[in-house]
Amino acid sequence: MIPVYGFSGANVAVLGLGRSGLATARALRAGDATPICWDDNPAAREAAEGEGFTCRDLHKQGGFDDVASLIVSPGIPHLYPTPNPVVRAALDAGVPVDNDIGLFFRSVATSQWDNFERIPQIVAVTGSNGKSTTVALLHHILESAGKEVQMAGNIGRGVLDIDPPGDGGIVVLELSSYQTELARSMTPDVAVFTNLSPDHLDRHAGLGGYFAAKRRLFAEGGPDRAVIGVDEDEGVFLAGQLSMGAADDRVIRVSSGRKLAGVGWNVFARKGFLSEYRKGRQAGSIDLRQMTGLPGAHNHQNACAAYAAARTLGLAPRMIEGALETYPGLPHRSQTIAEVDGVRFVNDSKATNVDSAVKALSAFKKVRWICGGLEKDGGLEALKGQTGNVQKAYVIGREAANFAMQLDVEAEVCGDMARAVEQAIADAQEGETVLLAPAAASFDQYDSFEKRGDDFIAEVEKRLK
């Protein structure tokens, strides 16, 4: 646990008592603060009270009279589409609003670090797609190199729930736009921006607000090194804002699909080969084509980002290459679950938006595509012209018929996962891939993308026995 400092003897309100909220309350108590907790869910309040925390209805008049700060869980809106009433009450009362990420960065460094030979380092990764894979891949690389490393944030444990990093320790964080938008303190040593595509637009009042939330990690934090994916205009703009000139190697530009030229520090992947260039000269090269845990151009982009971050931390190219070869992949992210009679079955349930689904589809030559669910803002227009590898789509979800009508490929309305898997298996030929890449959220039929992916795996395994 990372005890939270700076609130000794003070009352600190905690709104939202899920994983991060309860971890925050525990860390505040460990730092000698008094957490005042609230969640609209009675069961969540009961769990908190079971750990000895005080719960107070913060909606009521005077709820913030003796409160030093309000700490908000990521899923709770503080501005758009409308502020949560408790957040608005805190702001009206002049009470600062923060989140667990802000508390982490203000508390992780302690006087004990003065005695370390090597100061711990924090790597923070944000972007639209590939964050989890990039974080897990970097964690795997560092662990393979014998480093003391932990991953947290949107993946693994809550940021305040990890162990304090020791001498030379490294913490790798996955940060969503919900987290970067609100945190009052962000000071990573290395910050990574993977890419940008439309997502969470209602929460950020449009694409500009969404990008602004991501950008805060770099503008507010001032990392020593920044790894920036430059395959979209926003990444090019961000890299330009951070760089002091063409040769400024504090900014590492990353691309998948095109060669990056110039005298700066560049890492890119083309035709399955990763290349590193510094000062116009090649410094490293890795063949990614046979690495089963990293299929497709989108995963090659993730590999470039993780490689670049590992290089900033002092690892040699050959050491990184060995770790990439043994990376097993993450559940629900381009996860190969079976290969039978020449048909491959891949679970990419995490492809919850159109951009991530397009990238998943491009990774395989002939696809039986299981898709559908709760559409996100922006619709499915961006899928058109991107489905050339699809032999047929099998659509699930409560609005499966409407979803299928928007596709530019042959589509069968299946409704549920069992029917979709059954039909895809019946139609699949040798050399094809049955791919779950929904291009939609899961919440119309499942509690999470993990539950959806688990259902896909279970249905496949049932029929392949």
Q: Give ∠ CA 268-216-352 in degrees, rounded to 5.
A: 65
**134 half-sphere exposure, CB direction, 13 A CA radius:** 34
127 has binding-site annotation: yes
- Beta-bridge partner residues of 219: none
User: Tokens for 394?
Assistant: 């099998």
Q: Which of 103, 59, 63, 60 is nearest to 84 (CA)?
A: 59
- Beta-bridge partner residues of 124: 173, 191
Give residue 385's Cα distance to chain centre. Answer: 27
130 has binding-site annotation: yes
Residues in CB range of 159: below 8 A, 6 or more apart: 2, 20, 23, 100, 101, 104, 152, 153, 173
List C-alpha distances in Å: 415 to 300, 371, 445, 452: 33, 10, 10, 13
| Strand ranges (E), 261-420 | 265-270, 273-278, 281-287, 335-340, 343-347, 367-371, 390-396, 411-415
131 has binding-site annotation: yes
Q: What is the DSSP letter of 330?
A: B
Q: What is the DSSP letter of 383?
A: G
132 has binding-site annotation: yes
Give residue 197's Cα distance to chain centre. Answer: 13
Q: Which helix (H) or strand (E) holds 358?
A: helix 354-362
Binding-site sequence positions for ATP: 127-133
Binding-site sequence positions: 127-133
